[in-house]
Amino acid sequence: MAYILGIETSCDETAAAVYDTNTKRILSSQLHSQVELHEIYGGVVPEVASRSHIEKIHEIVTAALDEANLAIEDINAVAVTSTPGLAGSLLVGFSFAKALAYACKIPLIRVNHLQGHIFSAYLTADGYYEQVLPYPHVCLSASGGHTALYIVENAGIYHPLGNTLDDAVGEAFDKIAKLLELGYPGGPLIEKRAEKAGYKDYFSYSRTKKKKGCYDFSFSGLKTAIFYDMVRRGYAHPTTQALTSSCTDEVKDMIASSMLVCVGDILSRMLEQVLADIGSLKGFSFVGGVACNRYLRKRLQEVCDKRKIPFTISQQRFCTDNAAMIALVGAHKYLEKLFAPLDSDIFAD
Ligand code: KG4
Ligand code: ZN
């Protein structure tokens, strides 16, 4: 039996959680979101993010221990996100975890943030680890930092099938929301407006053509296409990018809706293609911040229903960055004794 403390500070969330390998359950999950700090800039400012992590990390780790009803002496290992992420942000959690491991004489475990997202699909609403999908299955991990497809062979082995070549899908939502002066983060704001406009495709933005056998994504073209279409229709100024008076609230709803339908088409076509090309895949999971989107969930669910394969989405609270998924991967590595030396660094897993 072991209690694993998980720590996550790769971007703009300071998070800590405790996982119990005996009951296979997350005992606590605490999080401080920095959204308010970055909102005025329309995106994450790395220096602001790392300073905030320093201020919050001790409080959040203490809160996670309290919620789990444990003392630091009860913890058997500390698992921490080591890559990928913002260097200054990663360093805060990583240094904190190393100090804890050294002081408490417990193993340090490095966790890849993306593996964390893959594992987030296996946590139930009340935090139990349940392997709901048969292997091998395909996972779409979509957030502000990445859009990637993986074949998951088993709990420890996963292979990337495709990646984002430029902007991640969440980043595209954030950038278009910024252009439309909606706020940050863009995904939920675009979703709300798209719902108001009935999830219809008003402007038919061009879809990138997919090369056979290639599962990479590109979303920067969509962002440019939306901007030039707005300029052409007189909704945005070509050089300053400022919105014109004809870009009314209703027009913004229509742009948001057209964008979301376009992303829905891109993702569902990609999934259809992968499932057609690789017949051995027995299920699909959708994870990462963008998996909060109800319209996209529905579109991808439809693809799986057609193919009669099981479909799993991370629980809402485990979709966006959190430490529960880091503690869970940490527990798997703990059982395999995959420990990291105390002189190890970030950007390795
Ligand atoms: O996984 P996450 O918390 O952090 C990263 O690792 O990036 O994902 C954050 C991203 C942001 O880009 C945000 O706009 C997007 O997830 N997001 C959404 C929704 N909720 C969050 N995108 C689309 N629809 C949503 N409902
Ligand atoms: Zn993430």
Best residue among 114, 290, 299 to mutate for probing ligand 1's pocket (most ligand atoms within 8 Å of CB) is 290
* 46: Cα separation from own chain's centroid: 18
Ligand nearest to the CA of 290: 1
C-alpha 117 chain-centroid distance = 6
How many angstroms is it from 144 CA to the middle of ligand 1? 5
Tell which atom from ligand 1 comes closest to the C-alpha of 288.
1
Q: For ligand 1, atom 23, which residue shows the shortest CA distance?
A: 187
Q: Which of 174, 292, 299 most suits a substitution to test ligand 1, by most atoms within 8 Å of the C-beta?
A: 292
Query: Ligand 2 center to residue 116 CA distance, Å?
Result: 8
Return the pLDDT at 47. Answer: 95
pLDDT along the chain (349 residues), means of 10: 97 97 98 93 92 98 98 98 97 98 98 96 96 95 94 92 94 95 95 98 88 90 95 96 97 98 97 96 97 98 97 95 98 97 94
Cis peptide before 310 (omega within 30 of 0): no
Place of tokens 């954030």: 174
217 secondary structure, DSSP code: B
Which strand (E) or helix (H) includes residue 16?
strand 13-20
CA distances, 8 to each of 2, 39, 142 (Å):
19, 21, 18
Q: Is 196 left (phi over 0), alpha (psi -120 to 50) or beta?
A: alpha
List all residues whose CB is within 6 A of at least one atom of ligand 1.
Answer: 11, 143-145, 170-171, 173-174, 185-188, 191, 288-290, 292-293, 320-321
Q: What ligand has the least distance to the C-alpha of 256?
A: 1
Confidence at residue 40, expressed as pLDDT on a 0 to 100 scale: 87
Check: CB of residue 53 under 8 Å from CB of residue 14. Answer: yes
Q: 90: exposed, middle or buried (C-beta count within 10 Å: 0-12, 13-18, 19+)?
A: buried
Distance CA(175)–CA(323), nearest Å, equals 26
Distance (Å, whole) CA 118 – CA 126: 18
In 3D space, the residue among 26, 24, 22, 23 whose CA is nearest the CA of residue 5 turns out to be 26
Q: In whole angstroms, give the CA distance from residue 85 to residue 81.
A: 9
Q: Residue 307: what pLDDT?
A: 95
Per-position DSSP letters for 152-182, written without gaps between them: EEETTEEEEEE-BSSS-HHHHHHHHHHHTT-
- Is the pTM of the predicted complex or chain greater than 0.85? yes
Q: How far is the CA of 114 from the centre of ligand 2 (A)?
A: 7
pLDDT of residue 155: 83
Radius of gyration of the chain (CA): 21
In angstroms, the CA 23 to CA 19 distance is: 9
